[in-house]
Amino acid sequence: MYKFFLFLLPLFTIQQPEYQLSTDKDGIRIYTATNADAKVKPIKVECTFNATPAQLVAVLLDIKNYPDWAYHTKSSTIIKQVSSLELYYYSEVNVPWPGQNRDFVSHVTASQNPETKVVTVEAPNVPGMVPEKSGLYRTHTSKGKWIITPEGSDKIKVVYYLQIDAGGAAPAWLVNMFITDGPLQTFIKLRKQVQKAEYKEVRLEFIK
């Protein structure tokens, strides 16, 4: 969601990224920005799921189970539940040696356009809510965005944007591993996650 997988989510600037297809596997297309100078380039992921918008949103709001599908997520805990569609959570991400584990706090909000029925889930990082911890590198700059569009009965198009600041002394090979493999592995697991029994029949009052 580094929010080195996904969950962590993109920082938009005045100059919008221009994307080029990087990976196309199992119906999951991953694009990287070609006009960004950041060490970790912004990404865009596109795919379709055989699910309802409510199923996917239920997974995205089920913070405690992020380690089941979000790439290298070690732990994930809600620290403030504002409402059924707004919360803050803390997460730690495993980073292979010689990297240093990362942690972050995200503010998650979900909303639906009443006319188009498109659901948007945003999760920018929030500095200062949780004191920094020894031995962990705090991710200070990250933002992600999910756009979930219904396509007929029980089918959705998912577009996910992510931009992060890797920070620390992360070597280039490690950064590249997360930016290319992380989103792919995350979405492969996420596609299975939404089919679990606890999400299959879910109904959310704010999603029509």
Please give the backbone phi and psi of residue 119, each rounded to the nearest 5 degrees, phi first.
-105, 135
**pTM of the full predicted structure?**
0.86
Q: What stretches of 49-163 show up as alpha helix (H) in DSSP?
A: 53-61
Kindly report the CATH number assigned to the domain that includes residue 175.
Answer: 3.30.530.20
Residue 167 in this model has a pLDDT that exceeds 70 = no
Q: What is the pLDDT of residue 70?
A: 95
Decide if 178 is inside a domain.
Answer: yes
Q: What is the pLDDT of residue 12?
A: 36
Q: What angle do CA 22, 121, 46 make, to 5 degrees?
A: 25
- Average pLDDT of 48-59? 96
Number of domains in the chain: 1
Q: What is the pLDDT of residue 8?
A: 38
Residue 169 in this model has a pLDDT that exceeds 60 = no
Residue 148, domain extent: 19-200
Residue 36 in this model has a pLDDT that exceeds 90 = no
What is the chain's mean pLDDT, rounded? 85
DSSP 8-state assignment for residue 194:
T
Decide if 90 is inside a domain.
Answer: yes
Decide if 36 is inside a domain.
Answer: yes
Three-state DSSP state, 161: strand
Q: What is the pLDDT of residue 198?
A: 95
Structure tokens at 84: 């059924």
Three-state DSSP state, 49: strand
CB-CB contact of 54 with 203 (8 Å) = yes
Three-state DSSP state, 183: helix
Task: Judge residue 16's burial from the number of C-beta atoms within 10 Å of its C-beta, 0-12 exposed, 13-18 middle, 19 or more buried.
Answer: exposed
pLDDT in tens, 59-116: 999 999 999 999 999 999 999 999 999 999 999 999 877 778 889 999 999 999 999 9
> Who wins on pLDDT, 14 or 56?
56
Residue 172 in this model has a pLDDT that exceeds 60 = no
Q: What is the pLDDT of residue 100?
A: 83
Q: What is the pLDDT of residue 168?
A: 58
> Who wins on pLDDT, 11 or 146?
146
Decide if 43 is inside a domain.
Answer: yes
Amino acid at 142: S
Residue 31 in this model has a pLDDT that exceeds 80 = yes
Residues 100 and 2: their CA atoms lie apart, in Å, by 10
CB-CB contact of 165 with 141 (8 Å) = yes
Structure tokens at 173: 């090979």
Q: What is the pLDDT of residue 3?
A: 40
pLDDT in tens, 107-160: 999 999 999 999 999 999 998 899 999 999 888 888 899 999 999 888 999 999
Decide if 27 is inside a domain.
Answer: yes
Three-state DSSP state, 64: helix
